Amino acid sequence: MEISEADALISEASRYLKPEELKLLSCSYYFSQHAHQGQFRRTGDTYISHPVAVAKILCGLRLDVLTLVSALLHDVVEDTNISKAELRENFGETVAALVDGVSKLDKIEFQTQADAQAENFRKMLLAMAQDVRVILIKLADRLHNMRTLDVMRTDKKKRIARETLEIYAPIAHRLGLNNIYQELQELGFQHTYPNRYKVLTKATKAARGNRREVVSKILEAIKQKLLNAGIDAIVTGREKHLYSIYKKMSEKQLSFSEVLDIYAFRVLVKNTRSCYAALGVLHGLYKPIPGKFKDYIAIPKPNGYQSLHNTLLGPYGLPLEIQIRTFEMHRIAETGVASHWLYKSSDNEDNDLHLKTNQWLKSLLETLSDSSDSVEFLEHLKIDIFPGDVYVFTPQGKIVALPRGSTVVDFAYAIHTDVGNCCVAAKVNGENCPLRYKLKNGDRVEILTAPTAKPNPGWLSYVNTGRARSSIRHFLRTIHYDESAELGERLLNQVLLSFNILPETITPAQWDKLVKDSGVKTPKALFAEIALGKQFPVVVAKRLTAPYEALSEAFSTNNNPISILGTEGMAIQFAKCCYPIPGDAIAGLIKKDHGLVIHTQDCSTVSKYLKNSENLLSVCWGNEISNTFQSVIIMTVVNQRGVLARVAAEIAKVGSNIDDVELENDDNFTNMRFILQVRSRKHLAQIMRELRHIREIVKLSRVKTGIEHKYHRSSI
C-alpha cells in the first residue's frame, strides 16, 4: 500500500472535513496500517488497501470523521491483537463502539448454518439500532468485498453474492443509499447468475448501438422543450440496470426484446413547483401511458425518496421512463440517511428522514423481540427491508407505507401492536371489508377493535409484513405458554395429591433444586414443559419430593383425576382419531411437544400406551362445561334431490353447527360424513334422533374408533 493512496483519501476528505478532523483521520490510517502490517488480501494487495477503500466509499457519502476513522479501523479488533480498550483510549468511545459493532458482524455464512447466519443478522440490527453508522460501514465493507469477489472460490462467491442480493442491497435501498444499492445489486447479479449476466450485457450493448441515435434525439427534444417553457433544468439519460431488466423479464415472463423501457431520463429542477411544471411540459411533448404515474413528492417513500415518476410513449412507440426531482431531492435520493451527518443542522428533510429511519429500526427491534428464534427473525427481516409499494391513509389522513400485498391486518399492526391484537373488523373507503383484503394505493382504512379480541392463528396464512407475523406468533406463543404453565401445574399437583402430598408443603429449597436440575429458569417454565410433554409429572414429582416414600407406589393407583372443562385453550388438545365429547369415558395422553391430548378410553391409541403409565393421566369431565366439541357422524342416504339441505336444516334446528361435510356418491346412495359442534353425548343423541325422522336416511352412526372414510368434499 503506497502512502499516496492515503493522501488520496485525505485529499478527498479535505473537501468537507476540518483540519483537526483530517489530522485524526491521518492518525487512524497509520494506526490501522501498523496493526495490519504483514497481512495480505486474497487479491495479493496489502490488507490496509481494504479499509482505505471502505473509507473512500464512505467519504463519497460525505460522512463524518468518526465514521471514516471507524472504517479505517473496522477490522483491527477482529484480525489483529488490538483490543476495544486500546481503540477507546486512542480514538474515543464512539469509534470503539462503531468498530465493535462492525466486528460482531464478521464471518456470516449464507445457507450453511442458518441459525448462525440469522443470529449474526440479529446482532447487526441491534448494533445498527444503537448507531446506524454501523450498517453504513458494513455496507461499504460489503461493497468493496463484492468489487474484489473474483478471487473467491465459485461456491463461496455465489453464497456471498446471493446474501448480498437478499439482505445487504435491500438494506441499502431501505436507507436510501441509491448508488450503493444499485452497485450491490449489479455485482450480486453478476456473481449469482454469471451466464445470465453475460447474455444481458451483450444484449444491452447491441441495443445501445441500435438506439443511440434515437435516445440522443429524445434527450435533445426534452431539453429544448423545457428551455422553451422557461424551466431551468439539467436532463440526463441513463440505461436501466441489468438486474432490474432481469427482474422484469423474470417476473413478467418477457424476452429481452419485449423489455422496451431499458432507457430512463432524469430531469433536475430548482424547486417542487418546477417539478410539476416540467411534468406538464413533457406531457405536451410525449403522451403519458395511463396508470404509470407515481407521485413520490406528495407521498415520499419510507426511505425519504422523493420524485415524480412517469412513463411516456416516445417516438417509434418507445416507452420512456421519466424521473423529475429537485436537486435537494436528488441529493437525498443518492445518499439517503447518510446525508444526515453532514447537513443535520440546517435541513429539516434530513432530520425527518433520520427520524423515519429510527422508527423503522425501532419496528425491526420489536420484531426481533417478538421472534422466538433467529431464523424466524431473518424471515421477517427479508420481508420488511424491501421498500413499501402500497400507500394507504388512516382516518385522520396520515400516510402509512406497506409492502405490496399487505392486508388490513398488516395495516392494523403497522399502527400499533395493540390495535392489531384487538382487531375485529375494518372499513376501507367507508365500506366494510374482510380482514384478508389486500390494500391498494390510496385506500383509507379504519380498524375496528374490541378489548376482549385476540389474534386469530388463521391470520398467519395471509398477513404479509414481518411485524404482523411476528406479533401474532408472539401473542399465540405467550397465550399458549401461560395456558400450558397453568395446565402443567395442575398435572403436577394432581400427582402429588394422589399420593397424599399437599403441594403447599413443598419448600422453596425443593423448588429451587428442581428448577436447577431441570435446566429451566423458573417453576413456570417447568410447568409449561410438563404440559407440553417434555417432562412427565410423575418423574418431576419423584425428583421434587424424593424423601416421600409414598411416591414409590405405582402411578396406576392415581385416584384423583384432573377435570377437563374445554376452556383450557391450546394447552389441551382433543384427539381427532376418536373425537371425545362430554359424557364419554376419557383418558389423558401426554405426548412430547403436543402436551395433553384427550382420547376416549376405548380409543385404539390409548391401548398402545397402557403399559407405559407415565404417558397416561387420569382425567374426567368437569361439572360446568359450556364449550362445544367436535363429533363425527356418518350416514347413508337414498339419492334424492334436497336430502342434504334437509339434513343440514335438522342439524341446525337442534342447535348444532356443521364444521365440515364430505360426500361419496354411487348410483343409488350417498355416504355423508359430518363434523358437528356438540355440547355433550346427550346433545349428540338428540341430533341423531331428529335425523332419524328423515326417511331417506337408511343408516346413521357416530364415528369414534379412528376409522377414516374418504369422501369427496362438498359444501352445503
CA distance 636 to 673: 9
CA dihedral 62, 64, 69, 71 (to 10 degrees): -50
CA distance 187 to 142: 11
From 5, 12, 21, 78, the catalytic residue = 78
* Angle 567-571-573 from CA coordinates, rounded to 5°: 80
- φ/ψ of residue 190, rounded to 5: -60, -40
Residue with cell 490510517: 29
Contact yes or no for 568/597 (Cβ under 8 A): no
Residues 6+ apart with CB under 8 A from 86: none
CA distance 133 to 273: 34
Residue with cell 431501505: 174
Phi-psi domain of 649 (left: phi exceeds 0; alpha: psi -120 through 50; beta: other): alpha
Q: Which helix (H) or strand (E) holds 183?
A: helix 178-192
CA distance 699 to 672: 10
Residues 6+ apart with CB under 8 A from 423: 408, 409, 412, 435, 447, 448, 449, 453
CA distance 420 to 431: 19
CA distance 431 to 446: 10
Which amino acid belongs to residue 61?
Answer: L
Residues 6+ apart with CB under 8 A from 93: none
Q: What is the CA radius of gyration of the chain?
A: 34
Would you state the cell numbers that stand for residue 462, as one nine-digit string?
A: 395471509
Phi-psi domain of 689 (left: phi exceeds 0; alpha: psi -120 through 50; beta: other): alpha
From 5, 12, 79, 106, the catalytic residue = 79
Q: How far is CA 511 from CA 497, 505, 507, 543, in A?
A: 17, 11, 7, 10
For the chain, helix (H) and strand (E) counts, in that order, are 28, 22
Would you state the cell numbers that stand for residue 238, as one nine-digit string?
A: 441513463
Range list of H helices, 446-585: 466-498, 508-518, 523-531, 537-544
* Angle 382-386-387 from CA coordinates, rounded to 5°: 155
Which amino acid belongs to residue 9?
Answer: L
Distance of CA 77 to the CA centre of its chain: 32
Is residue 79 flagged as an active site residue?
Answer: yes
The SS3 of residue 658 is strand
Contact yes or no for 601/578 (Cβ under 8 A): no
CA distance 428 to 407: 11
Can you name the residues that pair with 269 across neighbouring β-strands?
326
CA distance 254 to 166: 23
* Angle 704-708-711 from CA coordinates, rounded to 5°: 125
Q: Which residues are the active-site residues?
A: 78-79
